[in-house]
A = this chain, B = another copy of it.
């Protein structure tokens, strides 16, 4: 990593490779391109200072350059120590679209330092809007402001040693060091902030909890629950990336195999559909009888994991819960059964238990693909150590999926910025209005050659909706 003209990135020489991939990705991100066309000429974000804390990838680069072309001034860090694509970071830095503070393989100390840098604009200014993913940037601001007050009141500073996790220790170390340097930084920042748009479930969950306590000092937009975000991230994204990950990791033929999909929520629905499309026989496990019945109606067999442990070939967790496939389960599987997770978190699969199974032998077949051999000689093939296999073994969501997600982000940023003085948004958490959700969809139809029908006034009146939408109520199931 190096300091390059005010950025902190790994290698500016990768910028050209990054630029090539950005240009390819742009064609697959029509929503963002459409935003540039619609809002670029008016420079709608002129004057906005945006801090983004979101995986610094090629797709994010297209988001950054979209916000930049709309007039914003940007500083960017990643929200995960491993997720930066260095060629993407380099390309953005070189183009000057944003100042970038990210590289692949940061340590936790670096991570929080870089977040801090992304939040500090020149002239002792903070951002005026936030793009957050997981809520770390938001947390630094809120905790910063809290400790500023404590520091002001009783000169006390946070003590990193008192915090449990490495993560927290490092966050508070940064605050401890910097609050005395500028003891009103975070409170000035909050005063300037038009709001935050948050990308993920986890971050949104945090925001709702803060708001519930009445401690949210600026408006927040929950991008995560836009239909065009959640369906793409979950159903369509995973339908694409599950087979991709299995292919790259194992080269195994899926046709004819028995595949168990644990969970039939949105992710499970996408995964099951993909596996059926590959010619697999698909089994589903579910706890929710409604989702289970949906699986039946799709012609899928709903079973308990135990019922197919010994005969299935591939096991995929998608539940968002924990302890789904345990080491005891894997001990009973057939030889070279493949096990992977595409759900929320790595605790769906008991990787730890597997590693600690008595006399287990682990062989790395290739990066992110390990074979664990049990004492009886049979083995299981574990993908990505139980972490998200589509990220670990493939390249995550394709650009078109991210275009949906990031167009929601862009519209949320515009919404926050243009309403900074209108009073439309209180200090609460809002979902993006359905008309903007529909707009995101609309912006992606043209590149697919889809023609949308237009309601007549008479028809719109008949079903009690505006001609231009929104067309559905909030709890419509799609």
Query: Which A residues fall within an 8 A CB radius of B?
Result: 20-21, 24, 27-28, 227-228, 230-231, 235-236, 239-240, 243-244, 247-248, 250-258, 266, 274, 276-282, 285-305, 307, 311, 320-323, 335-336, 363, 365, 371, 381, 394-395, 398-401, 437-439, 441-442, 444-445, 448-456, 458-459, 462-463, 469, 471-472, 474-475, 477-478
Contact = CB atoms under 8 A, between A and B. Distances in A.
Contacts of A399: 251-253
Given A255-B239, A255-B297, A256-B400, A24 B477 contact: no
A237 to B, nearest CB: 8
A256 B365 contact: no
A399 B477 CA distance: 24
Nearest to A324: B459
A20, A256, A303 — which one has the most chain B CB atoms within 10 A of its CB?
Answer: A256
A340 B13 CA distance: 30
A251 B85 CA distance: 15
13 contacts: A236-B255, A243-B247, A252-B400, A255-B296, A255-B297, A255-B400, A258-B449, A287-B453, A288-B438, A290-B441, A292-B441, A322-B459, A477-B478
B299 A445 contact: no
Contacts of A257: 448
A155 to B, nearest CB: 39
Contacts of A400: 252-253, 255-256
A224 to B, nearest CB: 13
A304 B471 contact: no
Contacts of A24: 250, 336, 365, 371, 381
A349 to B, nearest CB: 14
For the complex of A and B, 6 pairs with smallest distance between CB atoms: A277-B277, A302-B450, A289-B441, A253-B398, A289-B442, A253-B400
Contacts of A456: 323
A462 B287 CA distance: 14
B288 A472 contact: yes
Contacts of A298: 279
A292 B453 CA distance: 10
Contacts of A247: 240, 243-244, 247-248, 394
Given A244-B247, A289-B442, 13 more contacts: A24-B371, A235-B297, A239-B278, A240-B247, A255-B296, A256-B296, A279-B299, A289-B452, A296-B448, A301-B449, A303-B450, A321-B455, A321-B463
Nearest to A463: B321
B280 A299 contact: yes
Nearest to A311: B449
Contacts of A288: 438, 469, 471-472
A94 to B, nearest CB: 17
Contacts of A442: 289
A376 to B, nearest CB: 15
Contact of A28 (B252, B289, B297): B252
A230 to B, nearest CB: 8
A276, A293, A363 — which one has the most chain B CB atoms within 10 A of its CB?
Answer: A293
Contact of A255 (B299, B477, B478): B299
A253, A258, A365, A455 — which one has the most chain B CB atoms within 10 A of its CB?
Answer: A253
Given A296-B450, A305-B453, A438-B290, A253 B236 contact: yes
A295 B452 CA distance: 11
A451 B303 contact: yes
A452 B301 CA distance: 11
